[in-house]
Amino acid sequence: MKKRILIISIVTISIFSQQLKAQDCKTSAELDASPGKYLTAAQYPWPAARTEYFSKMTTATDKAMAKKILGDLEKTEAQSHAGFNLTGGNWENVYTSDGYQYFGKVKLGQYTFQAALYEYFCAKGKLTRNSEFSSVLRMYVNKLQLTTLDKFLSAPFGSSFPTYDFGMQYADWKNHKPADVNAQLINLFTYISCNNKQLLDAINTGKNYFQNVAEKDIKPNNRNNFAYRYWFIKKKDIPVLIPVSRKEYLQSLLEYYEREKIHFTKLVAQLKEEKSGSLKYYANWEKDVADKIAVVKKAMSEHNEEWLSAQAVINPGADNSQTYNAKLREQTNYNRFWKFYDSEKNMCGLYKYSPEYFKTSPKGPASPQLITIVFRYVTIPSSLRMLNNFTKNFDFDRLQKLLE
């Protein structure tokens, strides 16, 4: 059956390519002016891929919800280019499901709508569809942290157990299964750092867009440098991200250090059994952890509630440098607290997902609570036409009505 599906798909693509190649081409202007086609997610030429659209949603209810919402996103996007003259390539859609993620204590399903511009190029004088794309629109449901935003928005503490995963970073560490990488984490690992006020305002207000590259820095007629434009579709009035106080952060460090005691006890025992040369890196783990705990408790005891209630502002790079300069072993000094920062370079505020914003839905975890829209483009005519049309004509308000 799989072989038959593959053969049908190859035939479909082959016929499609032959139709394109039947047209002669000579210049870039001819390519750019050549009429394009719109292909829906249901017309995606690989049937095997279409069967995977909702595969990472674990229940029938979640699959149905993802299918409905992605269909609504696709219809809304299609309406934005009604009457638009598509040229220079095909605009082709696809769905994906991404599993689940915790937003604080609330578990949400994640899935994505994608539309990409497959440009035409000339191959031996014949019009040909490129199999790769530069310009792409993605709408992420229940997803905020994206790799393309890492410069501005990130999870600063990551996983501090990179080699031996005993599950200590997870809230229910006793029952944690290593394969469940999206299980609920302890507080420290749920925090998000942000160093850009414009981005934070775009996320929390849902107004205007954020672009990762300033307009003045974008080179014209350049297909090698991607620019990303973001919109955040959210519920009215309630912020998505709220500040983490100094007290919260310090308390979360203490929780983490207690987990380290369990982690290092198990790790050292395993290294001894393996007779591993790495054992030397953990020889002083008890002293290091005790010292980290003492520093945090001292900071909490020496300051009043007003000071402790202020937002935690961190600088991971500066902290790591201090740890290095103090000649402390990296392996047993992860997330060592040195101080809070105010005006130093590379500082960033700590935030967390608002519990008032993210709430369990009676319609299930796949119910949409946040939509992140990302348009990646390059500064060539066909890409800019798609971007400008989308920015001008897309009905952002319609998406807000989909949110729980």
Task: Give pLDDT tens digits for 373-396.
Answer: 999 999 999 999 999 999 999 999
Greater model confidence, 328 or 160? 328
Q: pLDDT tens for residues 215-252?
A: 888 988 888 889 999 999 999 889 999 999 999 999 99
Percent of the chain predicted with pLDDT > 90: 76
pLDDT in the model for residue 242: 98
pLDDT in the model for residue 26: 64
In this prediction the pTM is: 0.90
Residue 361: pLDDT over 90: yes
Where is average pLDDT lowest: 42-46, 164-168, 177-181, 367-371? 164-168
pLDDT in the model for residue 28: 77
Q: pLDDT tens for residues 123-134?
A: 888 888 888 999
Greater model confidence, 16 or 33? 33
pLDDT in the model for residue 84: 95
pLDDT in the model for residue 162: 57
Residue 6: pLDDT over 50: no
pLDDT in the model for residue 27: 76
Greater model confidence, 177 or 391? 391
Give me the residue spans of the domains in the chain. 2-149+199-239+363-400, 242-353
Residue 89 pLDDT class (50, 70, 90 cuts): very high
pLDDT in the model for residue 163: 61
pLDDT in the model for residue 15: 37
- How far, in Å, CA of 368 to CA of 70, rounded? 10
Average pLDDT over the chain, rounded to an integer: 90
Residue 25 pLDDT class (50, 70, 90 cuts): confident
pLDDT in the model for residue 24: 75
Average pLDDT of 38-53? 93
- How far, in Å, CA of 31 to CA of 193, rounded? 44
